[in-house]
C-alpha cells in the first residue's frame, strides 16, 4: 500500500516536472535576455503614473482604468483592473521598471496555471477516456501552445494569467465539493470571482463555468430534460451564482458610473459598421477565426485591427463555410452530449470564458490573442479528448496507434518550436512589428507602429514611407496623419505639416493632440494668435492637457510675455510633474532673473519626480556654481556626465566651475575632454582653455622674474 502511495507521488512529481520543463523550453532558457516593454506595455506600465510613481497612490489605482486614465473620463476604455496595476506597481517599487523580471513572473504564473490545469483534469470524472492521460496531454498542449505567447511574453498579459489562475482554483474548488456544493463553497467561489474581476473583467464568467462543471460532475445530463430543468431551477447554489454574478456586474458598472467605453473605427471596424447583417456575419466569422488561430497558430499578429480581416458583407461569402462547420460540430456535440459528456464539458469551458470578447458587448479590438489564454483550456481539453477517443477506438490496429503517438509527439515538437520563435518576436518592438507585417501587410496600424518606432530610432526615411503607406490603406487614420505632419514639421516643411494635421482634424475634429500640434506649427510660422486659438481648442477637448500648457508657455515666451509663460509652465508641472522640459524652462527663467535661491528650491521639487533627469540636474549644478557652492555643484556635474558622458556642454561647464574655483589642472582636463568629444561644438571650451593657458604662461613668466 505504501509502495503504491510512493509510486503515485513520484508519478505526480514527474508529470509536474515535465510540464514545467515544457514551459521553460518555450519561454525560458535564455529566452528573456534583452527583453523590453513592447506595444501595450508602454502605455499600461512605462507611461502609467499609477504604476511607476512613489509613494503609492491608492486612490488613483482604484479610480483609474488599466491604462492610467480616469475611469469616469470620456477617453477611458473602462478596463478596470486595479489589482493587476497594483502588482505592476509593487514590482516597480521592489525591483524597478524591468521588462525581464516582469516577463519572468508571467512565465512562473504560466507554469502554475499549467500545473493547476493538470490537477483539475486529473480530478474530473469522465468515464469515456483515461483522465490521467487526458490530464497530462492536455496540460502539455496548454503549456506549449503558441497562442499563449502574447499573454506570457507581453507584460500586460498578467491580467489574463491571474484570471486563469483564479478560474482554475474555482473549478478545482467545485470538483472538490461535487455533490455537496454548500454555501461556504458558493461564497468562496463568488469571493474569488470578485477578486478575479479586479484582475480582469472576464472573470465574471467564472460562476457560469463552475455551474457547467458541477452539472457534468454530478451526471445531471443522464436525467430527462424535464427533470434537468426542474433541478436547475431549484438548485440553490446555481441561483446564488446567478444573483451573485448579476450583483458583481451591477457593482462593476456602478463604479464606472454606468458609462460605456467609446472606441474608434480604427480599433474595431466590425463594431462600427452601420449594416446589421455585415456586423453579425463578420462577428461570427471572427469567432471561427479565433478557433482557427488555436487550431493552427501559424499566423499570429499582435494587432488584428485594420486590414487583417476583411468584413463579411453577404451570406454568399465562402468564409462562412467555417462558421457552418463550427456550428455543425456544436450541433453534433449537443446531439451526443449524454454519450460524450467530456466533449461537451470541454466545449463549454472554451466558449464561456470567451463570451466577453465574442462581440456581445463592444470591445476595442478585432482579435486579441491574449484573450484566448483561458478559453484555450477548453480547446486543449477538446483536442486531446478527440485524440484519445480516436486512439482508444483503434485497439485492433497496433501500427495505427503507434502512428498516432508519433504524430502527437511531432505536434508537441512543432508547438514548442513555434512558441519559442514567437516568444522571440515579443522581446522587442522591432521584431514584433516586423513579424506582424508578414502576417497582415495591409494592416494600417502595423505600418503606423513601424513608422512610430522608426521615428524614435531616428530613421526618418523609413518613418515617412510607413506613415504614407498607413494613410494610403486607411485615409482617415487621424493619428498617422498627425504624426506625419509632426515629422514634416521637424524637417522644416511647415506648410506640408499644417496640411496633414488639418487632415487629421477633418477625420477627427475633437482630437486634442492634433489641435495642440497645429498650434505648434502655427507658432513656428509666427501666427501667434492662430496658435493660441488652436491651443485653446485642444484644452476644450482635454481640460487637463499638461503638454498643451507647456507649449502655451513656449508661445508666451516667444512673445516675451514672461509672467504668462512661467504661469503656464507651472500649471503644466502641477498637472503632470513628469515633464522635464517644463521644469527646465521654469528653472532657466528663474536663473536668468537672478532668483537662484528660488531655482534651487524648485529644482528640489522637480528632482523628487525626475531624480535622474539630466537637464534639471545640469541647471541645478549651474545655479550652485553661481552661488559658489562648488563642492555640491561638482558632485552634480559628475553625475550628469556619468549619465551622458559624450555631451560637450557638460564637460565645458565643469571646466568653468573648476576655473572659478581656481582648480586649474582640473579645468584644463575638463576643457580638453570637451574639445576631444567635438572640436566644432566646443568653441567656449577652446576659448576658455586658451585664456587659461595664456594666464598660466604669464604667471610663470612673472615667477621667473
Q: Are residues 466 and 333 in the same domain?
A: no
Question: In total, how many domains does the chain have?
Answer: 2
Read off the pLDDT band of 333 (50, 70, 90): confident
Read off the pLDDT band of 180 (50, 70, 90): low
pLDDT beyond 90 at 319 = no
Count CB neighbours of 431 within 10 A. 14
Expressed as residue numbers, the domain containing 160 is: 1-46+97-421
pLDDT value at position 143? Answer: 95
* Highest-confidence segment of 36-45, 57-66, 159-168, 352-361: 159-168
pLDDT value at position 31? Answer: 59
pLDDT value at position 570? Answer: 93
pTM attached to this predicted model: 0.87
| The last residue of a domain, from among 539, 563, 591 | 539
For residue 565, tell me if it sits in a domain: no
Query: Which whole number is the average pLDDT over 409-438?
Result: 91
Question: 598-612: per-residue pLDDT in tens?
Answer: 999 999 999 988 888
Looking up residue 510, the CATH number of its domain turns out to be 1.25.40.10
For residue 233, tell me if it sits in a domain: yes
pLDDT beyond 60 at 313 = yes
For residue 381, tell me if it sits in a domain: yes
Q: Are residues 399 and 462 in the same domain?
A: no
Distance CA 511, CA 540 (A): 10
The angle at the Cα of 244, spanning 241 to 250, to the nearest 5 degrees, equals 140
pLDDT beyond 70 at 61 = yes
Task: Tell me the CA distances in angstroms from 452 to 35, 42, 46, one per residue in order.
Answer: 20, 13, 17
Q: Which of 246-260, 417-431, 505-519 has the lowest mean pLDDT?
A: 246-260
Cell of 702: 612673472
| The last residue of a domain, from among 361, 388, 421 | 421
pLDDT beyond 60 at 2 = no
Do 93 and 54 meet the contact criterion of CB atoms below 8 Å apart?
yes
* Highest-confidence segment of 4-8, 549-553, 656-660: 549-553
Average pLDDT along the chain: 88
pLDDT value at position 407? Answer: 92
Query: Which whole number is the average pLDDT over 381-401?
Result: 84
pLDDT value at position 173? Answer: 93
Place of cell 456602478: 254
Question: 621-643: per-residue pLDDT in tens?
Answer: 999 988 889 889 999 989 999 99
* Highest-confidence segment of 133-137, 354-358, 686-690: 133-137
For residue 234, tell me if it sits in a domain: yes
Specify the 3-state DSSP secondary structure of 64.
Answer: strand
pLDDT beyond 80 at 45 = yes
Q: Which of 20-34, 116-130, 274-288, 408-422 has the lowest mean pLDDT?
A: 20-34
Q: Are residues 238 and 362 in the same domain?
A: yes
Question: 572-589: per-residue pLDDT in tens?
Answer: 999 888 889 999 999 999
pLDDT value at position 310? Answer: 84
For residue 205, tell me if it sits in a domain: yes
Read off the pLDDT band of 131 (50, 70, 90): confident
Q: Are residues 380 and 449 in the same domain?
A: no
For residue 558, tell me if it sits in a domain: no
Read off the pLDDT band of 538 (50, 70, 90): very high
Specify the 3-state DSSP secondary structure of 357.
Answer: helix
Q: Which of 158-162, 234-238, 342-346, 542-546 has the lowest mean pLDDT?
A: 234-238
Query: Which whole number is the average pLDDT over 664-692?
Result: 84
Using a pLDDT cut of 70, give the percent of the chain over it: 96
Question: 338-378: per-residue pLDDT in tens?
Answer: 788 888 899 999 999 998 887 777 676 678 889 999 999 99
Q: Are residues 351 and 459 in the same domain?
A: no
Do 567 and 589 meet the contact criterion of CB atoms below 8 Å apart?
no
pLDDT value at position 465? Answer: 94
Query: Which whole number is the average pLDDT over 133-140?
Result: 93
Q: Are residues 468 and 407 in the same domain?
A: no
Q: Are residues 461 and 414 in the same domain?
A: no
Query: What are the contacts of 274-281 at 24+ separation with CB within 8 A?
Result: 275/313, 277/313, 277/314, 277/315, 278/311, 278/312, 278/313, 281/312, 281/313, 281/314, 281/315, 281/317, 281/320, 281/323
Q: Are residues 347 and 250 in the same domain?
A: yes
Amino acid at each position: 500500500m505504501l509502495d503504491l502511495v510512493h509510486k503515485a507521488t513520484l508519478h505526480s512529481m514527474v508529470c509536474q516536472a515535465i510540464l514545467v520543463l515544457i514551459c521553460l523550453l518555450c519561454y525560458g532558457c535564455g529566452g528573456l535576455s534583452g527583453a523590453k516593454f513592447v506595444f501595450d506595455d508602454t502605455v499600461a506600465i512605462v507611461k502609467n503614473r499609477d504604476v511607476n510613481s512613489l509613494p503609492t497612490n491608492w486612490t488613483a489605482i482604484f479610480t483609474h482604468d488599466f491604462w492610467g486614465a480616469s475611469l469616469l473620463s470620456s477617453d477611458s476604455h473602462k478596463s478596470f483592473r486595479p489589482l493587476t496595476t497594483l502588482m505592476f506597481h509593487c514590482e516597480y517599487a521592489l525591483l524597478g521598471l524591468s521588462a525581464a523580471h516582469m516577463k519572468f513572473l508571467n512565465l512562473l504564473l504560466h507554469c502554475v496555471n499549467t500545473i493547476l490545469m493538470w490537477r483539475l483534469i486529473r480530478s474530473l470524472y469522465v468515464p469515456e477516456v483515461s483522465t490521467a492521460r487526458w490530464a497530462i496531454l492536455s496540460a502539455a498542449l496548454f503549456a506549449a501552445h503558441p497562442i499563449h505567447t502574447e499573454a506570457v511574453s507581453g507584460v500586460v498579459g498578467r491580467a489574463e494569467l491571474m484570471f486563469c489562475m483564479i478560474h482554475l482554483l474555482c473549478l478545482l474548488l467545485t470538483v472538490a465539493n461535487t455533490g455537496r456544493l454548500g454555501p461556504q463553497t458558493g461564497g468562496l467561489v463568488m469571493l474569488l470571482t470578485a477578486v478575479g474581476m479586479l484582475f480582469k473583467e472576464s472573470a465574471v464568467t467564472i460562476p457560469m463555468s463552475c455551474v457547467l462543471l458541477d452539472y457534468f460532475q454530478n451526471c445531471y445530463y443522464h436525467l430527462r430534460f424535464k427533470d434537468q430543468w426542474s433541478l436547475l431551477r431549484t438548485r440553490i447554489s446555481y441561483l446564488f451564482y446567478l444573483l451573485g454574478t448579476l450583483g458583481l456586474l451591477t457593482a462593476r458598472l456602478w463604479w464606472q458610473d454606468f458609462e460605456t467605453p467609446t472606441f474608434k473605427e480604427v480599433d474595431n471596424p466590425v463594431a462600427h459598421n452601420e449594416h446589421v447583417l455585415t456586423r453579425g456575419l463578420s462577428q461570427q466569422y471572427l469567432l471561427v477565426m479565433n478557433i482557427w488561430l488555436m487550431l493552427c497558430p501559424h499566423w499570429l499578429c499582435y494587432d488584428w485591427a485594420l486590414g487583417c480581416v476583411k468584413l463579411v458583407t453577404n451570406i454568399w461569402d465562402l468564409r462562412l463555410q467555417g462558421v457552418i462547420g463550427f456550428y455543425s460540430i456544436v450541433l453534433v456535440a449537443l446531439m451526443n452530449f449524454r454519450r460524450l459528456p467530456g466533449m461537451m464539458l470541454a466545449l463549454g469551458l472554451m466558449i464561456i470564458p470567451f463570451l466577453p470578447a465574442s462581440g456581445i458587448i463592444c470591445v476595442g479590438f478585432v482579435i486579441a490573442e491574449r484573450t484566448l489564454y483561458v478559453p484555450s483550456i477548453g480547446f486543449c481539453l477538446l483536442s486531446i479528448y478527440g485524440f484519445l477517443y480516436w486512439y482508444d477506438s483503434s485497439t485492433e490496429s497496433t501500427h495505427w496507434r503507434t502512428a498516432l503517438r508519433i504524430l502527437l509527439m511531432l505536434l508537441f515538437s512543432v508547438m514548442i518550436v513555434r512558441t519559442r520563435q514567437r516568444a522571440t518576436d515579443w522581446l522587442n518592438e522591432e521584431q514584433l512589428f516586423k513579424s506582424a507585417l508578414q502576417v497582415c501587410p495591409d494592416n494600417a496600424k502595423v505600418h503606423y507602429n513601424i513608422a512610430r518606432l522608426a521615428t524614435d530610432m531616428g530613421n526618418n526615411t523609413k518613418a515617412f514611407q510607413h506613415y504614407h503607406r498607413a494613410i494610403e490603406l486607411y485615409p482617415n487614420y487621424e493619428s498617422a496623419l498627425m504624426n506625419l505632419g509632426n515629422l514634416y514639421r521637424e524637417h522644416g516643411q511647415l506648410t506640408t505639416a499644417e496640411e496633414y494635421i488639418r487632415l487629421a482634424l477633418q477625420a477627427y475634429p475633437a482630437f486634442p493632440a492634433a489641435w495642440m500640434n497645429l498650434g505648434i506649427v502655427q507658432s513656428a510660422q509666427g501666427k501667434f494668435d492662430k496658435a493660441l486659438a488652436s491651443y485653446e481648442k485642444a484644452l476644450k477637448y482635454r481640460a487637463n492637457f499638461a503638454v498643451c500648457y507647456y507649449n502655451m508657455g513656449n508661445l508666451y515666451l516667444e512673445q516675451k510675455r514672461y509672467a504668462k509663460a512661467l504661469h503656464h509652465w507651472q500649471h503644466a508641472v502641477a498637472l503632470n510633474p513628469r515633464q522635464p522640459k517644463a521644469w527646465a524652462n521654469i528653472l532657466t527663467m528663474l536663473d536668468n532673473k537672478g532668483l537662484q535661491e528660488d531655482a534651487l528650491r524648485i529644482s528640489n521639487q522637480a528632482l523628487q519626480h525626475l531624480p535622474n533627469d539630466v537637464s534639471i540636474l545640469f541647471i541645478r549644478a549651474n545655479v550652485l556654481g553661481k552661488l559658489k557652492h562648488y563642492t555640491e555643484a561638482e558632485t552634480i556635474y559628475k553625475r550628469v556626465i556619468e549619465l551622458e558622458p559624450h555631451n560637450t556642454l557638460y564637460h565645458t561647464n565643469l571646466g568653468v566651475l573648476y576655473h572659478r574655483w581656481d582648480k586649474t589642472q582640473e579645468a584644463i582636463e575638463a576643457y580638453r575632454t570637451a574639445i576631444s568629444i567635438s572640436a566644432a561644438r566646443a568653441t567656449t571650451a577652446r576659448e576658455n582653455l586658451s585664456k587659461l593657458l595664456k594666464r598660466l604662461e604669464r604667471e610663470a613668466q612673472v615667477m621667473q622674474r
